[in-house]
Amino acid sequence: MSATGSSLGGWRVALRLARREAWRRKGQTLLMLVLICGPVMAVSAATVVWRTSDVSSAESVTRVMGGAEALLTPQQTRDVAQEFDPADGTSWGADNEAPATESEIRTVLGERPLLPVRHESSDYRTDHGIAGTNLLVVDLRHPLADGLFRLAEGRFPRAKDEVVVNAALADRGPGLGEKLVLEQRAPDGTKVPRELRIVGVGDYADSRTRAWAGVLPGAVGEPTADDGPPDLLVGGAPVTWSDVLRLNELGVLVASRQVLTDPPPESALVPDMRGGDEGDNTALTVLGLVVAMVLLEVVLLAGPAFAVRARAQAHTLALVAASGGTPAQARRTVLASGVVVGLIGGVLGVVLGIAGSTLAIPVAQRLDAAWFGPFEVPWALLALVAGFGFVSAVLAAVVPAFAASRQDVVAVLAGRRGEGRPSRRSPVVGLVLIGLGVAGSVVGSRPGGGSSALLVGASAIISVVGMIFLVPVVVAGLARLAARLPLPLRFAARDAARHRMRTVPAIAAVGATVAGVIALGIAVSSQAASDEQGYAPMLPIGYGAVPLPTDATPANVDEVEEILRKGLPDAPRERVTGVVMDSEDHSLDIGLAHGDQRVNTSYLGMLGTSYVVADGLPDYLGTRSGDRAAADRVLADGGIVVLRNRNENALPADRLTVEVGEVPFGGGEITNLRKADLPAVAARVPERSSPVAAVLSPAAAEKLRLPTATTAFAVRPTIERAALKNVNEQLAASPANVELQVERGYQPDAATQIIKLVLAVLGGILMLGGTLTATFLALSDARPDFATMAAVGARPRTRRGVAASYALVVGLVGALLGAPIGFIPGVAISRPLTYDDATSSTLLEIPWPLLGAVVLGLPLLTALIVGAAARSRLPLAARVD
């Protein structure tokens, strides 16, 4: 028989033995499948959700153009260029050219059906006041508009006094059969109410959460010349790419059904629209790094299970070797377990992932403002994911397989267990790799482009691999230092060193998880801290303000106050008296000086004025409490309190010259100049900005002949979000048409919060999974030792103590090794993320709660869980392997 035939025959035997072994040891096999299936299922479900939520140009055809063959968008210029989908990229020529006319468009398209469509906006009356909505102005009954609006109940408008709305609008206002009152602005700025009867409720195809309404042309007034030409839905024959290019020459952007569903080759694009693939290459490289890290993690998690399976087969393999079996046959037998588990786990994980995605998609849809596309299963990608699971299982079995082929046959047949000393080269290789990882991170931490981030990512993988080489030495050293520890900890430490093939992958998996969590945690926290540091609040945190227009009448002001009183009864309000900076024909120019030295001021506020007028320092300015007494004395003396933020210098003197002039609108010389020498003091705000430039005493304002009025309302905390929405709708409906704005401080990006949550949950799951897996495998493998303990009179709770100690050793050692490794890429990637061009500085934020939770909290929690779940009864059995 040929060598190839012998090898294939050997694999058939090995696979048959592996299948029988998998069935015989169902508990072990189930654990292996969970370790392989879990990541495959999660990735498969995420892939299906991603592909379903990612609406391609071809999938968006109906929601963009309904039943038409193309959507034409005339521009205010000629000679435009576009990609196949104009939403992906366009370019324009000179502005202010006449848009293409319908007759010019017909010279290209011929006599085809054309349906005008406009997208406008309007206000509408809600149950509480007024809110904004988008308007789709088109005859939705026309076949070309089929699909732009999906009806849930009712019908489409047949007359100009009818309207169809989506659920987002109906939830805040009238429903089916009721009147919708639109507030349209006339050319003179006044609002013209238009009553429309709601005859249908449904969904606007391109947006899920924003308010939309569909009306017939002319329902909200005829378009003016300033509105520009409408978009056009085109029927008839397909619009080809050559048609698109000819229309581009006329200044018309075209979304063509034929082009989007069957795009020409990229060479058909004009040169300016042919994009490179550098960004795609970078994204693919980053994806490759992530896949490599995940693959490494899965291999490390599954490794202990295959090590225990190999140990269970050790006696059988030793008998085979004693009967003349070769090391290759022993390796093949263990690797076959990886092949069987990988095939089943990969396929089963993909199937479960597809099933899980059907539950995840509705949840994900609620978090997205846009409608998802049709349910899509990317079979090619899922085949790669299944292959990922298969490769993970085989790689996890590689080290146990080679160890099984080199085992001491005599020692195994004699019942002696254990492994040799760790290699002396292992720590050297590990330190060298960690050194390379540090060097690569330092080089990649310079503010740069994507290549720097890739270098840091690659360095992180190198550092983690280097850590894996250190684990055997650390475990062996821990066993030597365990002599003075209590029996459960001493037993766990020494057993971990004696069975490193089972322990090292588990500890390395925990370490790799901790390193990844800490690295990403440092990067995300530093980015958020940098964003927060750059945030400039406009009021003290929790306060709100309603800026009033300069033409607000006393009746308008009283009405606004009444709305605030009724809508926010638990939030006290205060009228802000300020200098009116703008009048009908000029604006005020106010400057502060000390001799020839000008005192610069800055502010970022929403109080409707740059200068507040008060006889005491108002609370809504958020100044330091220690400055109040001096400020109140200066205001009582008829002076001025200049607000200084944390970046501004102190005042040069305790008296300042205030200069006031009037600047005509449209430019010109400053007129009506007046000055006053006033006592002055600074009041500090702890933020990067001040709500106003200064506070003037009433006497100073009168002396400088400054016009004053109620410029805003300041509202004290606390203002609930639901109440804020209702109040703002009422304020929008008032004659003043104003808005209450609340300063809530820096609000972390939702994506940042999700990333932190995912890091905590995923890190916890992986750490718990790795630790629990290694612990219960160790307990299963240590049955002969527990039998010996029982025989010599060990107490029943000893088993619980040993189980908890196993978990503590695996979790704590892995976390302590992974934490410093995670700092390497975490610190490196935070530098380019937080680099400030103005100051050439960076910011480093260590997430200490996250660090404490993963390094100390999770190992202790895992130990408690294992100790509580482990059986306390020690088995009375003969010590037979």
Q: Which of 270, 259, 246 is nearest to 78 (CA)?
A: 246
Residue type, 472: P
| Structural contact between residues 335 and 401, judged by C-beta atoms closer than 8 angstroms | yes
Whether 580 and 709 have beta carbons less than 8 Å apart is answered as yes
DSSP state of 218: B
What does the pLDDT read at residue 711? Answer: 95
| pLDDT at position 285 over 70 | no
Q: Are strands 708-715 and 573-579 parallel, antiparallel or unpaired?
A: antiparallel
User: Tens of pLDDT along 519-537?
Assistant: 888 888 888 888 888 888 9
Weakest-pLDDT range from 18-22, 639-643, 730-734? 18-22
Predicted local confidence at residue 450, as pLDDT: 46
Q: How large is the average pLDDT for residues 303-318?
A: 69
Residue 499 pLDDT grade (very low, low, confident, very high; cuts 50, 70, 90): confident
Q: Is the per-residue pLDDT at 191 higher than 90?
A: no
Return the structure tokens found at 461. Answer: 């993988």
264 DSSP assignment: P
Q: How far is CA 19 from CA 24, 336, 381, 401, in A?
A: 9, 8, 28, 16
Mean predicted confidence (pLDDT) in 426-447: 85
- Asked if residue 318 lies in contact with residue 409, where contact means CB atoms within 8 angstroms, the answer is yes
* Average pLDDT over every residue of 211-219: 91
CA distance 78 to 751: 40
Tens digit of each residue's pLDDT (9 = 90 or more) over 449-460: 445 667 777 888
Tell the residue number behind the tokens 């050559």, with chain if given.
Answer: 242
Residue 1: predicted pLDDT: 46
Q: What is the pLDDT of residues 236-252, one digit of tens each?
A: 889 999 999 999 888 89
What pLDDT does 762 receive?
67
| Whole-number pLDDT of residue 137 | 94
Query: Per-residue pLDDT averaged across 489-507, rounded?
Result: 83
pLDDT band of residue 88 (cuts 50, 70, 90) is confident
E strand spans, 105-220: 114-125, 130-137, 149-154, 162-166, 179-185, 191-204, 212-215
pLDDT higher than 70, residue 260: yes
- Find the helix or strand (DSSP H, E) in which 71 lies: strand 70-74
pLDDT at 563: 93
Higher pLDDT, 600 or 877: 600
pLDDT in tens, 678-687: 999 999 998 8
* Span 564-616, pLDDT tens digits: 999 999 899 999 999 999 888 889 999 999 988 999 888 888 999 999 999 99
Is the separation of the CB atoms in 263 and 100 below 8 Å? no
**In this predicted model, what pLDDT tens digit does every residue of 699-755 receive, in sequence order?**
999 999 999 999 999 999 988 888 998 899 889 888 888 999 999 988 877 666 666
Closest CA to 644 of 693, 611, 684, 616: 684
Which among 622-626, 784-788, 864-868 has the top mean pLDDT?
622-626
- Output the average pLDDT for the chain: 82
* Helices 500-533 & 487-498 angle (0-180, nearest 10): 100
- Would you state the pLDDT for residue 708? 94
The pLDDT of residue 449 is 47
For position 425, what pLDDT does the model report? Answer: 80
pLDDT value of position 880: 46
Phi-psi region of 554 (alpha: psi -120 to 50; beta: other; left: phi over 0): alpha
Q: What pLDDT was estimated at residue 280?
A: 46
Q: Report yes or no: 339 and 393 within 8 Å, Cβ to Cβ.
A: yes
Highest mean pLDDT among 312-326, 355-369, 395-409, 815-829: 815-829
Rounded distance between C-alpha atoms, residue 237 and residue 148, angstroms:
20
pLDDT for residue 512 is more than 60 = yes
What residues contact residue 660 under an 8 Å CB cut-off, 6+ apart?
A: 588, 589, 590, 673, 674, 675, 704, 705, 706
pLDDT at 406: 66
% of the chain surpassing 90 pLDDT: 27
The stretch 15-22 carries a mean pLDDT of: 77
Contact (CB, 8 A) for 131 and 123: yes
Residue 356 has pLDDT above 60, yes or no: yes
Tell me the C-alpha distance between 77 and 94, whole Å.
Answer: 6
Q: Sorting pLDDT into bands at 50, 70 and 90, what band is 192? A: confident
Query: How many CA atoms within 13 Å lie on the side-chain side of 53?
Result: 20
Q: Is the pLDDT of residue 218 over 50?
A: yes
Task: Say if residue 200's pLDDT is above 70.
Answer: yes
Q: What is the mean pLDDT of residues 11-15?
A: 75
* Average pLDDT value for residue range 675-700: 93
Confidence class for position 225, pLDDT limits 50, 70, 90: low
Instruction: Work out the average pLDDT over 197-211.
Output: 86
Per-residue pLDDT, 279: 45
Q: Give residue 324's pLDDT band: very low, low, confident or very high (50, 70, 90).
A: low
Residue 757 pLDDT level (bands cut at 50, 70, 90): low
The whole-angstrom separation of Cα 808 and Cα 775 is 9
pLDDT at position 714, please? 96
Q: 641 - beta bridge partners?
A: 681, 695
Average pLDDT, integer, range 508-521: 84
Beta strands in 555-654 (DSSP E): 573-579, 586-594, 597-599, 611-613, 640-644
Among the residue ranges 417-426, 641-650, 689-698, the one predicted with the least confidence is 417-426
Can you give the pLDDT at residue 487? 86
Helices (H) and strands (E) in the chain, counts: 25, 23
What is the structure's pLDDT at 154? 92
Q: Is the pLDDT of residue 104 over 70?
A: yes
